[in-house]
Amino acid sequence: MANGNYLINLYERCLKLPFGRKIFSAMFARKAPYFATIKPLITELEPNFCQLTFKKCKAVQNHIGTVHAIAVCNGMEMAMGALAEASIPKHLRWIPKGMNVQYLAKTNSDVTIEAKASDQTWQVGEQPITVEAKRDDGTVVAAGEIIIYVSEKPKK
């Protein structure tokens, strides 16, 4: 079960607990406290893939009563960050460089976000992570990529 990645191992340990996904999601959201503003729930985490959900509620709505685009982007960044931490080889590190997102439809329901990469992503240089957000009915409301810069960790 243990694959050598600290975040995957923590996720798998948390899944054994009652409310394990909620516990893990809250712990991960503390890495960047603004993640907690959407009250995310990481529903799947494995190398090169992360899925999370968050509910449409007053705290994430805009002036027309739909989920604010920045709340969706916040979820996209969290999913990408969890994917990156769960996937990157131990000798490398990453940092986000940019985000290219298309807003495709109104977000009038709860949101499911998926971030996807491949084994080829984990090479030195700029690398794209694909992100997509969907409404409950399956409609894609936002899609794009987050560009990360992957580099070697400095020798200690």
In sign, the C-alpha dihedral spanning 46, 101, 32, 57 is: negative
For 43, the 3-state DSSP assignment is strand
The position carrying tokens 């959900």 is 53
Residue from 117, 140, 139 nearest 127 by CA: 117
Residue from 138, 67, 132, 26 nearest 146 by CA: 132
Looking at domain 6-152, what is its CATH homologous superfamily? Answer: Hotdog Thioesterase (3.10.129.10)
The pLDDT value recorded for residue 1 is: 43
pTM: 0.93
19: tokens are 């409310």
pLDDT tens-digit readout, 60-105 = 999 999 999 999 999 999 999 999 999 999 999 999 999 999 999 9
pLDDT tens-digit readout, 60-72 = 999 999 999 999 9
Q: What is the mean pLDDT of residues 11-19?
A: 95
99: tokens are 């985000």
Mark out the alpha helices in 2-156 (DSSP H runs).
Answer: 6-15, 20-29, 69-87
